[in-house]
Structure 1
């Protein structure tokens, strides 16, 4: 086993080798894992890189609830396929519990108060989305200001606590105001609670190792947010096989395919977001970098690329190896990139295709909700240097 073979296998399982062309958004997410969403372009970029899906097709699947953005692993928002809605909600259920416990301790909020507010919210909501301002007005005195203490903790009223609680239970859901995943403006509607699997952690582990294997228990702990003991228990009933000489585990059903897998001879370039699953499922950046590339300066930062927990820019990946970094210059409508090697025609074609997709379908390729052309300027300058 070599690093190059592991990387190429991960890229293959992630569908970054063209094997998922023509698949639906739900099929891609079921095969490669939930797509992290932070109000940026990552879900669109990931689905385009894997299956060639345009924004209109993805947005239509969102509208049909074939896929949906939900609070799930570690309480973070991901875009999930319909088959995983119940599991995702169950996995993320602990986050609103923790927020409510903190509000009880520091802000004088009681569970009874939030319970009453939840009843009011459910009574107000229907099938037409209400944004937070309209919802607060409709709820009236049931919503209470948390004053300066709340502002310091980032919770100005009791309404977000109730909304988080109801979302985790599947009783309400957020609807993007303009139907897009790369915005953070939402309305809320009533929804139907779903019955979670009987063993949530095991079902999450089963999916995770199919998406990310070979992976370690440490990697699974990062993704799931579970303790060492809980992670170990979650995999006990799974048929995971160790990779000799490593701490990595692979589902037994993939062992024969992995053993026969060889690194493709030809490059297979993909331009994806910095929080794409090829990185974020393990969150172990050096494994995707050659040693020489790990010593490169991080664009817009002070250290080296290999010292970063997460990439400072979007990624160019070839057979699982990070071979370059890129950002989108919204003013020029162009991708600015730095490639870690000698460019070829296949790379230029991949850049051109992604550039056209971002320009024509998205308008910009924001890394996260607060990313902007202005905040991106230092990274663009560093990539051009």
Structure 2
């Protein structure tokens, strides 16, 4: 077992190793990657594609085929946030996010005079409208459901819920009764239709904690609570049946079955570079950005930001990132006009790093067309960051 002298470099390299960023998993399927390395956060951007490409060399066509075959799927899960999950985790993922629509309905009942009976009747109407064959988009559902969908007026718009339909769709998704299908089969956009589904929803807090630690350990209780949304009491109860050890001198927990492997693990001598989205699991599973930054890099200014903002002061990276054995060694964006990756590196570019950049650039250019960070990201909104990255690289 590691002692209190466990180095930052070892922890970073171990996290990268457990999350399949060590360059040894080429050819694995999307489902295999997501089961072993962790669910991929999806917000209408390129993050799932970039993560699967970096870990297993998977092209967009392979990922889209896995989505179409329901081997993987984008679902509301931990904290109600959307992640791309393997089929083996559909039930657990839905269970992890089941309470969120309930909270939204309770809020609508309190502030917008929406009743539970009204939402349940709309759920029934939506279910009767949908089939398992072809998706139906929200506008078509709203039109076909007629008066069962009610406008919530200006008060609803101010709260981000213009009609009762999103409440019903959220509840039905959490129940596994319907699923959301991307209209063109791609994960990097946010236009969806809905189809009927019959997916069980089951899984305990302890199961979710165990899955999380298989991807993210060593991790603290606070890291677990961030990912799951657990209260302190729920986290304590979820961890109680698990066989865990604590790294001496830290608050980091590790499953006992990984203890010997962690003890024997050494930091690889050769670099292993990956170009990832800022919301990739290497960061977002813990959401503790400083652990991935060397102190000098933490002081670097955030590209195109106001004075005083540095990489180390942020909760999340404001750009995509370049990592090497778990350490963030650069940042990047994709320039759609020049059809190239623009980057700022914190280390000298050796042949392996230049190759990683070139391979990712070709993947984005030829298969994705862009590398949006999230649904509202656009070449226009990204232009100041690209200009700042070019200036930093030329300095």
TM-score for both structures, normalised by structure 2 = 0.96
Mapped partners of 2:223, 2:158: distance in 1 = 33
- Taking the TM superposition and a 5 Å limit, the aligned residue runs for 1:1-12 are 1-12=6-17
- Can you list the C-alpha shifts for 1:234-288, whole angstroms capped at 9, x where unaligned? 0111111111110001111111110100001111100000000000000000000
Mapped partners of 2:199, 2:268: distance in 1 = 45
2:250 to 246, 252, 256: 246
Aligned-pair CA distance for 1:356: 0.3
**Count of aligned positions:** 383
| Contact 2:50/2:277 (8 A) holds in 1 | yes
Partner of 1:129: 135
Matched, 1:221 2:225: yes
Mean Cα displacement is larger for which, 76-85 or 296-305? 296-305
Matched, 1:339 2:339: no
Partner of 1:297: 301
Q: Secondary structure at the match of 1:342?
A: coil
Partner of 1:192: 198
2:279 to 262, 275, 278: 275
Mapped partners of 1:235, 1:228: distance in 2 = 11
Partner of 2:3: none
Aligned-pair CA distance for 1:219: 0.2
Mean Cα displacement is larger for which, 340-349 or 188-197? 188-197
2:109 to 104, 108, 114: 104
Partner of 1:306: 312
Mapped partners of 2:381, 2:214: distance in 1 = 37
Q: Secondary structure at the match of 1:336?
A: strand
Partner of 2:35: 30
| Contact 1:12/1:19 (8 A) holds in 2 | no
- What is the root-mean-square deviation of aligned Cα atoms in Å? 0.6
| Contact 2:301/2:310 (8 A) holds in 1 | yes
Partner of 1:114: 119
Aligned-pair CA distance for 1:195: 4.2
Matched, 1:355 2:361: yes
Mapped partners of 1:193, 1:343: distance in 2 = 48
| Contact 2:38/2:215 (8 A) holds in 1 | yes
1:149 to 155, 159, 163: 155
Partner of 2:84: 79
| Contact 2:303/2:389 (8 A) holds in 1 | yes
- Structure 2: segments with no counterpart, 5+ residues: 1-5
Q: Secondary structure at the match of 1:104?
A: helix
- Structure 1: segments with no counterpart, 5+ residues: none
Partner of 1:365: 371
Mapped partners of 1:341, 1:129: distance in 2 = 48
Q: Secondary structure at the match of 1:4?
A: helix
Deviation above 6 Å: which 4+ runs of structure 1?
none
TM-score for both structures, normalised by structure 1 = 0.99
Mapped partners of 2:266, 2:322: distance in 1 = 21
Mapped partners of 1:299, 1:150: distance in 2 = 36
Aligned-pair CA distance for 1:300: 2.0
Mapped partners of 2:225, 2:300: distance in 1 = 29
